Structure 1
């Protein structure tokens, strides 16, 4: 596997500035992106604050039960045993559960967690285990119920779980029937080309979905199949058993809610003063917690001493809310601002792997970490890749295109290439004829208008119709030229759909199964083995 560094258009300016270590962003984070310099400092702080987190043995016991069900690998159980040791640290990261794992970047994020844990262990000379959060508590079903794969012509096709889910329940609680899985698997069977890997891959995916009743379990089992042998521990943020462990942390989040709201407001103010757009809502009356009520995940607000949702479906005093937490901890969940605090309250996090959007909203949390008696961990940008297949690489050379041309100038370059293929200059020729027509016809119209005023209107209509017909013929000429070069245009479209489908980076659209079907699974291990630096760079790789 070979890689070449190429710039990729990114998400937010704040994340860009953090990745580039620009001065404006530095004050919003605890550590610089040059993580090696802060790693030992972070480890010392975690040692000193050991008693502030959930007891390791309780956490390990929960992780053994959950991973036994969806991630039953010897290497994973070994990681959990290591995590139970007093000096073990964690590199973590997470993602929503997506259909068939979702876009490629999810695979890259999991690979980043494993690679960074290995590198941290090498640098610290102490156990560092990889832990991957599944954000099953999120409730945006329409965001996770589909994925994309190319068809035989390279056009992107959307695979989607049939059936409409209109509620706001956590994704992990949405039941998926076998008929729905079968529909997706049939589409997948049709889309994946025949390769030496297809039979085994389809068998694995079918078995996984036959044993899964929700999207999060299927997601976990697929991630396990790809990363279990690397010792990657999984945990579902929506798991009721985990909620019971987290109950003391939720209690603190409620009791100290006023202090935390002030902290997030300070974070927002600091971010705005530094000149950045707001990456997440920081509502003045926001409690930054969700409560699950009758299958709906409701964002709580705090006003006049009452915790309630915007629609008034629930309302609690602090005392009543704490009582509800004691009796039903599974009905509480974090939002994007309190999730980092929860993570560091249960795991000894040396570093966390984040996408650019996540890096941006973490810029709001430094003051909240401090008020909560925590310290923001080291933030590492996830690994980022574009897979370049041989055919598209050959076509880029054939048409003289760079990666940046495909990213930013594809349509312009294609039209230039088309124009160069024909000596007949379509637009210039038609423009010349239209001008000649106007020069000859206009004087005639002026003369006949003197014969009768009504002829002027008829003449203008006549000019319009003739102009329309010439424009139509011009369009048909362009189409004929494109049809003449149809094979080459398929090359152009193939490059676009492979590298920047739907005008987005490949890693944000393509599903990994296309590449797993073509190349097997070894390339994922190669990605992990080849990475030791996390500087937010993007690489174009060939497999």
Structure 2
């Protein structure tokens, strides 16, 4: 049992995103090609012409080196080696190294990427399409990735180390694992999750190693390629673009006009670029590079460089220069033969700021695709919804809106005072006619009295609604409890629960079920019933 609703109907997505997927002409200037199967042929031609054999060889060498540390599947290794071919392209998603994958949409992003590759392979059988998960190992906000929720309980790792999260040690997770172990219960699915966490985080030294192992275990049979771009040889390919950012502030220069255009359309700006959109990494420090008085400073440190010293540092140690959220997309598209980036609404919002920057750097701007979203619900929950005479889509309403709708629906008293207001307005029509025959002060008094009485009826209507809500308190409590079970902490389910909760229900069928349900290019929000 499954269904879909529009992203706009969920009320959880921005105007920019809903306008994009509805092909609103207001958004056309901010992207290159719309995500449809027919768009990929031209995208491939453009990417093939710009992506060199040197870049392909470097990428394959780095990936094969990274894969020596895990038991890679034949499908993944074949996909890596195929990247040497000019007719092999990638579809990429990226995400932080969230503890035990964090919210379940981490999984949805990767499934969307794999599914699109399957669809492209059918459409273009003479080409090859490789799904890539880009590990955001250079991020330094450990608090953002250090927890996950399971059965309404928060599991959080502690840390002391600073700098990029990819090298953060996985030590001190024994206690957290012991807590999770107690909650997982018994059975084949629980044992799989137990061993997955244990082998990922207790048998690997860093978060990058742990995440690579975990994601590989879940997706290796689908040929997923996992890339950690925090590599000297990959960054060497990016030196020209890094120089442009350091010397000419390319991002700020080429996105300022785009930001003004987005603001003119009343869209929210996702990220405001800095003058220099790069970090400097050294000795467990990842800090912003700041240019002032013809000197480059590393924020919160004593390091500083002249222009010549900094360029020499870049050429000798490119691995010490780290993209921020605005330069990472260009880095990705420089080192990958990529056609499409799949991300959430917030991610696409800042990608829309970057088209002019890509054009200035002469790198093809990828097709942007909103990842699949889903609400997973059980057969038991479906039965409760039916018994309440509601639709699943009703539960996307804000709590007070849902309570109001239900109260109107089940109340044995008519709460709508529209008829009374209409009758009152009819009575005042005669007074308005009379007022038109006399002076303006009387005409104003009649209008004011009408407004006062209509306002009084509206107030009484609200009072009656509140009274009925109190009377129906027990019934509305049941509705609220069901809504919270579907939208924990009043968030989209996918932004709160961990994949392990659904895996306990579906087991090995979890990922195949998602692959069968998701159609990335349909651009609809999935409602998926599971048989439990």
Please indicate, yes or no, whether the TM-score normalized by the shorter chain is above 0.5.
yes
**1:42 equivalenced with 2:43 (yes/no):** yes
> In the alignment, is the contact (CA less than 8 A) between 2:399 and 2:480 conserved in 1?
no
1:325 deviates by 2.2
Number of the residue aligned with 1:165: 160
Number of the residue aligned with 2:258: 267
> In the alignment, is the contact (CA less than 8 A) between 1:267 and 1:364 conserved in 2?
yes
Q: How does 1:132-211 map to 2 (within 5 A)?
A: 132-150=133-151, 156-161=152-157, 163-165=158-160, 167=162, 169-177=163-171, 180-211=172-203
**1:219 equivalenced with 2:211 (yes/no):** yes
Q: Which residue of 354, 357, 360 maps to 2:343? A: 354
Per-residue CA distance 1:455-483 (angstroms, 9 max, x = gap): xxxxxxxxxxxxxxxxxxxxxxx99997x
Residue 357 to residue 419, structure 1, CA distance change in 2 (3 Å)? closer
Residue 252 to residue 494, structure 1, CA distance change in 2 (3 Å)? same
Residue 5 to residue 495, structure 1, CA distance change in 2 (3 Å)? same
Residue 259 to residue 144, structure 1, CA distance change in 2 (3 Å)? closer
Q: How does 1:66-77 map to 2 (within 5 A)?
A: 66-70=66-70, 72-77=72-77
Residue 541 to residue 190, structure 1, CA distance change in 2 (3 Å)? same
Per-residue CA distance 1:197-243 (angstroms, 9 max, x = gap): 212331232222222222232222221111111000001233xxx23
Q: Classify the secondary structure of the residue corresponding to 1:520.
A: helix
Number of the residue aligned with 2:431: none
The CA distance in 1 between the partners of 2:519 and 2:280, in whole Å, is 40
Q: How does 1:243-258 map to 2 (within 5 A)?
A: 243-255=232-244, 257=246, 258=248
Q: How does 1:439-478 map to 2 (within 5 A)?
A: none
1:298 deviates by 0.9
> In the alignment, is the contact (CA less than 8 A) between 1:251 and 1:325 conserved in 2?
no
Per-residue CA distance 1:422-461 (angstroms, 9 max, x = gap): 99xxxxxxxxxxxxxxxxxxxxxxxxxxxxxxxxxxxxxx
The CA distance in 1 between the partners of 2:284 and 2:471, in whole Å, is 56
TM-score, normalising length from structure 1?
0.80
Per-residue CA distance 1:115-172 (angstroms, 9 max, x = gap): 111212222221111111010111111111001111xxxxx111111x34373x1111
Per-residue CA distance 1:35-84 (angstroms, 9 max, x = gap): 22321111111121132x75212211211121232462221111112222
Residue 532 to residue 518, structure 1, CA distance change in 2 (3 Å)? closer
Residue 20 to residue 313, structure 1, CA distance change in 2 (3 Å)? farther
Residue 70 to residue 287, structure 1, CA distance change in 2 (3 Å)? farther
Gaps in structure 1 of 5+ consecutive residues: 151-155, 424-477
Number of the residue aligned with 2:320: 331
Residue 412 to residue 249, structure 1, CA distance change in 2 (3 Å)? closer
Residue 42 to residue 421, structure 1, CA distance change in 2 (3 Å)? closer
Gaps in structure 2 of 5+ consecutive residues: 413-468
**1:503 equivalenced with 2:490 (yes/no):** yes
Residue 165 to residue 402, structure 1, CA distance change in 2 (3 Å)? farther
Per-residue CA distance 1:311-345 (angstroms, 9 max, x = gap): 46432223212222233332221011111111111
Number of the residue aligned with 2:3: 3
The CA distance in 2 between the partners of 1:383 and 1:373, in whole Å, is 30
Residue 211 to residue 399, structure 1, CA distance change in 2 (3 Å)? same
> In the alignment, is the contact (CA less than 8 A) between 1:384 and 1:536 conserved in 2?
no
> In the alignment, is the contact (CA less than 8 A) between 1:71 and 1:220 conserved in 2?
no
Number of the residue aligned with 2:271: 280
The CA distance in 1 between the partners of 2:292 and 2:122, in whole Å, is 49
Number of the residue aligned with 2:26: 24
User: Aligned-pair RMSD on alpha carbons?
Assistant: 2.7
> In the alignment, is the contact (CA less than 8 A) between 1:288 and 1:301 conserved in 2?
no
Number of the residue aligned with 2:381: 392
Per-residue CA distance 1:355-390 (angstroms, 9 max, x = gap): 101111011111111111112111111011110111
> In the alignment, is the contact (CA less than 8 A) between 1:301 and 1:309 conserved in 2?
yes
Number of the residue aligned with 2:421: none
1:102 deviates by 0.7
Q: Classify the secondary structure of the residue corresponding to 1:333.
A: strand
Residue 400 to residue 54, structure 1, CA distance change in 2 (3 Å)? farther
**1:366 equivalenced with 2:339 (yes/no):** no
The CA distance in 2 between the partners of 1:497 and 1:404, in whole Å, is 14
> In the alignment, is the contact (CA less than 8 A) between 2:277 and 2:323 conserved in 1?
yes
> In the alignment, is the contact (CA less than 8 A) between 1:395 and 1:491 conserved in 2?
no
1:310 deviates by 4.5
> In the alignment, is the contact (CA less than 8 A) between 1:28 and 1:270 conserved in 2?
no
Number of the residue aligned with 1:537: 524
1:509 deviates by 0.4
Number of the residue aligned with 1:404: 393
